[in-house]
Amino acid sequence: MRSLSTLDELRKTRFSLDGTVGLVPTMGFLHDGHLSLIRRARDECDHVIVSIFVNPTQFGPKEDLAKYPRDLERDLRLIEPLTDLVWTPSAEIMYPTGYQTWVEVEAVARPLEGAMRPGHFKGVTTVVAKLFNAVQPHKAYFGQKDAQQVAVIRQMVRDLNFPIEIVVCPTTREPDGLAMSSRNVYLDAEQRQAATVLFRSLSAAKELFEAGERDAEKLRGKMKEVLASEPLTEPQYVSCADYDTLEELTEIKGKALLSMAVFIGKTRLIDNFVLG
């Protein structure tokens, strides 16, 4: 595996590759969810480039950029058997002095995470567009766990005509249902146990849906009820929205997204299920 840091090194290496290239963009501190994206990319492409960059512009002023978990040595050990190339640009490479260009998606980036984390998606779409321009992959791999991120990136790819296929891979879960996330390391033992409530509440709403319930408010009510049974949780939002537009639904007619953001102590967790 070759580990590259400058843009020049990346470009020279990228353009020496024959065949298809898959990009797996990450912020490091890799877990099995990331590894499943890399495996899928390896199955589908001739070469896989993994980027590791903790993108400062997608963190709000009160968010956890400084203490976001990092362990590059461990990350490199984990991906060594799975990939040819890893790109680890510095913040100076991505945002040199005088940087002033941004990519911003509108409506689909506004609700849910967009409403709770102003500026977050502007940072995500800007860095992903820069990664796409630098790597010029044929396919790029993202996890369903960040459902709105996927919707926003798809919109950006359509609107800006990036010739890149966005591949969305299923959420990887712990045996008790907790969605894997780099932020799970912040949870102590009691909070880790409480964190299963996200999966339990999504499962309860899905069960109602599978029993024939199509009233979106009833599904939101069920999720809130299960979350309320766990005293350590503080829900930020609970949503039953249209899968593509992310607008809140009254009645479920097509594909829908159940999603939520919940604080457990100081740790903010998100999760979602797709219905239909």
Closer CB to ligand PAF, residue 55 or residue 172? 55
CA distance 168 to 108: 17
CB of 225 to ligand PAF, least distance (A): 30
Looking at 25-33, 102-110, 159-167, 202-210, which segment touches ligand PAF (CB under 6 A)?
25-33
Contact positions with ligand PAF (CB under 6 A) in 52-111: 55, 58
| 25 near ligand PAF, judged by CB under 6 A | yes
Residue 218 to residues 103, 118, 122, Cα–Cα distance (Å): 37, 28, 33
Instruction: State the catalytic residue, choosing from 34, 47, 120, 138.
Output: 34
Contact positions with ligand PAF (CB under 6 A) in 177-206: none
DSSP type of residue 146: S
Going by C-alpha positions, the residue among 142, 145, 202, 191 that lies closest to residue 172 is 145
| 128 near ligand PAF, judged by CB under 6 A | yes
CB of 131 to ligand PAF, least distance (A): 7
CA distance 106 to 156: 10
Contact 15, 98 (CB under 8 A): no
Active-site residue flag, 34:
yes
Within the chain, what is the greatest distance between any pair of CA atoms? 56
Looking at 20-28, 77-85, 92-100, 105-113, which segment touches ligand PAF (CB under 6 A)?
20-28
CA distance 251 to 218: 10
Contact 137, 112 (CB under 8 A): no
| 125 near ligand PAF, judged by CB under 6 A | no
CA distance 83 to 86: 8
Closer CB to ligand PAF, residue 45 or residue 128? 128
Closer CB to ligand PAF, residue 127 or residue 257? 127
CB of 56 to ligand PAF, least distance (A): 10
| 33 near ligand PAF, judged by CB under 6 A | no
CB of 26 to ligand PAF, least distance (A): 5
CB of 57 to ligand PAF, least distance (A): 9
User: Can you tell me whether residue 270 is helix, strand or coil?
Assistant: strand
Note the Cα 176 to chain centre separation in Å.
20
User: Can you tell me whether residue 31 is helix, strand or coil?
Assistant: coil
Which residue has tokens 């995500």?
A: 124
Member of 75, 113, 146, 230 binding ligand PAF (CB under 6 A): 146
Catalytic residues, by residue number, are 34
* Residues making contact with ligand PAF (CB under 6 A): 25-27, 55, 58, 124, 127-128, 146, 149
